[in-house]
């Protein structure tokens, strides 16, 4: 497989996609983005080719991939905590759209397909920690089941069609340009609530422990795999250490100088409670650590960005 030349990011205007685009551009790699809407927190970049449309418009997707050698799929239509009795249609749509997209690529110029899966939902509540890539896949949510299904279909598709794949299982990404008014990304969401004297809602207990990764580290680590032409592998990308919600809130209180008001609610059955990723495979493959930003430094940068956004909203 030759050097990476032009990458198409499906859902590239989202949180992770925007940082991956930055990382690619920093190495003079051409970037094309297909998304339904522009970025939420910054204007379009002149170096990027943008195409706007719905993921179900497969004829448009088929045309826009021409000339690209790598495609990165960053789209998912529902979230890990979706209520079980409301996700049947969402599950089918998410999986079907991905499968149909893959078949649009059969005769395209795409050589490598990169799929962003989940470093938590696919494993479910782990049998042991830290969790390596070969840990049993036992999802406890429709979101996790969909991610596993899409991983397996991608692997089969690539074997049958002479394509290469790369599956990324990130831990919980956080950082600038994450939607602090959305329903994913506890760090900016908690920061925003604490700054606005609104209660932080904890589903379950404050001892829940998870792995977090600064989004710029996630983008850099993914780029390193792409530049190394590493294909047909699955990689965890995380910090490799756990932080409880209690510790997370304490750090936010230190960084913001504000005290949190906490509201406890019943745990969500579809949420993975405690998970830490084993990133040994990434380190042994690339010779470097996936995460180079400690949690407090990453949170401080996120906080500075959040303050700027809030000030911009008031102007």
Per-residue pLDDT, 254: 97
- Smallest CA-to-CA distance from 71 within 226, 178, 214, 177 is with 226
* pLDDT at position 1 over 50: no
pLDDT tens, residue by residue, 254-270: 999 999 999 988 888 78
- Does residue 284 fall inside a structural domain? no
pLDDT tens, residue by residue, 167-217: 999 999 999 999 999 888 999 999 999 999 999 999 888 889 999 999 999
pLDDT tens, residue by residue, 26-66: 999 999 999 999 999 999 999 999 999 998 898 889 899 99
Helices (H) and strands (E) in the chain, counts: 9, 12
* pLDDT at position 315 over 80: no
Answer yes or no: pTM beyond 0.85: yes
Tell me whether strands 233-237 and 200-203 are parallel, antiparallel or unpaired. unpaired
Per-residue pLDDT, 182: 87
pLDDT band at 3; cut points 50, 70, 90: confident
- Does residue 146 fall inside a structural domain? yes
CB 200 within 8 A of CB 261: yes
Q: What is the CATH number of the domain that holds 200?
A: 3.90.25.10
Q: What is the CATH number of the domain that holds 106?
A: 3.40.50.720
Which residues touch 41 (CB under 8 Å, ≥6 apart)?
176, 177, 309
**Pair (116, 22) in one structural domain:** yes
User: What average pLDDT is seen over the chain?
Assistant: 93
**Pair (300, 163) in one structural domain:** no
Token look-up 């002149």 returns: 46
- Does residue 1 fall inside a structural domain? no
**Pair (269, 306) in one structural domain:** yes
- Does residue 51 fall inside a structural domain? yes
**Pair (80, 101) in one structural domain:** yes
Query: Is residue 143 annotated as part of the catalytic site, yes or no?
Result: yes
Question: Between residues 130 and 183, which one has the greater pLDDT?
Answer: 130
Q: Average pLDDT of 225-231?
A: 95
Q: What percent of the chain has pLDDT over 90?
A: 81
How far apart are alpha carbons 211 and 171 in whole angstroms? Answer: 6
Range of the domain at 14: 6-173+213-237
**Pair (300, 200) in one structural domain:** yes
Q: Average pLDDT of 304-313?
A: 90
**Pair (16, 86) in one structural domain:** yes
C-alpha to C-alpha distances, 224 to 71, 215, 273, 293, 310, nearest whole angstrom = 16, 14, 30, 16, 33
Radius of gyration of the chain (CA): 19
Tell me whether strands 233-237 and 172-174 are parallel, antiparallel or unpaired. unpaired
Residue 13 DSSP symbol: T
* pLDDT at position 85 over 60: no
* pLDDT at position 219 over 80: yes
Exactly one of 115, 143, 174, 282 is catalytic; name it.
143
- Structural domain total, the chain: 2
Q: Report phi then psi at 32, rounded to 5.
A: -125, 135
How far apart are alpha carbons 24 and 29 in whole angstroms? Answer: 5
Q: Which residues pair with 213 in a beta bridge?
A: 173
**Pair (87, 137) in one structural domain:** yes
CB 90 within 8 A of CB 78: yes
pLDDT band at 91; cut points 50, 70, 90: confident
Q: Where are the beta strands (DSSP E) in the chain?
A: 6-10, 30-35, 48-52, 70-73, 112-116, 164-170, 172-174, 200-203, 209-214, 233-237, 242-244, 262-265
How far apart are alpha carbons 41 and 32 in whole angstroms? Answer: 19
- Does residue 44 fall inside a structural domain? yes
pLDDT band at 312; cut points 50, 70, 90: confident
Which of the residue ranges 55-59, 118-122, 146-150, 301-305 would you say has the lowest mean pLDDT? 55-59
Token look-up 């692997």 returns: 155
How far apart are alpha carbons 134 and 73 in whole angstroms? Answer: 22
Per-residue pLDDT, 12: 97
Per-residue pLDDT, 188: 97
């Amino acid at each position: 497989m030759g050097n990476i030349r032009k990458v198409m990011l499906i859902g590239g205007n989202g949180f992770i996609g925007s940082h991956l685009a930055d990382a690619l551009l920093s190495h003079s790699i051409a970037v094309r983005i297909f998304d339904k809407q522009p970025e939420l927190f910054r204007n379009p970049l002149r170096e990027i080719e943008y195409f706007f449309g719905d993921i179900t418009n497969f004829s448009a997707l088929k045309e826009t991939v021409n000339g690209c050698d790598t495609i990165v799929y960053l789209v998912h239509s529902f979230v890990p905590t979706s209520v079980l009795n409301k996700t049947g249609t969402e599950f089918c749509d998410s999986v079907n759209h991905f499968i149909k997209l893959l078949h649009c690529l059969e005769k395209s110029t795409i050589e490598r397909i990169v799929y962003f899966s989940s470093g938590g939902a696919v494993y479910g509540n782990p049998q042991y920690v830290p969790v390596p890539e070969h840990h049993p896949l036992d999802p406890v949510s429709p979101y996790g089941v969909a991610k596993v299904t899409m991983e397996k279909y991608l692997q089969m598709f690539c074997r049958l069609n002479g394509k290469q794949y790369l599956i990324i299982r990130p831990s919980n990404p956080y950082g600038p340009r994450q939607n602090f008014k959305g329903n994913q990304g506890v760090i900016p969401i908690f920061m925003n609530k604490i700054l606005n004297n609104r209660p932080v809602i904890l589903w379950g207990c404050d001892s829940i422990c998870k792995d977090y990764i600064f989004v710029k580290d996630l983008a850099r680590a993914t780029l390193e795999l792409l530049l190394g032409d590493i294909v047909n592998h699955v990689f965890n990308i995380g910090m490799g250490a756990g932080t409880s919600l209690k510790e997370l809130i304490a750090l936010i209180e230190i960084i913001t100088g504000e005290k949190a008001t906490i509201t406890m609610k019943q745990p969500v059955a579809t949420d993975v409670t405690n998970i830490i990723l084993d990133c040994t495979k990434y380190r042994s493959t690339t010779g470097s650590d996936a995460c180079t930003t400690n949690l407090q430094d990453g949170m401080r940068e996120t906080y500075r960005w959040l303050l700027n956004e809030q000030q911009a909203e008031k102007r």
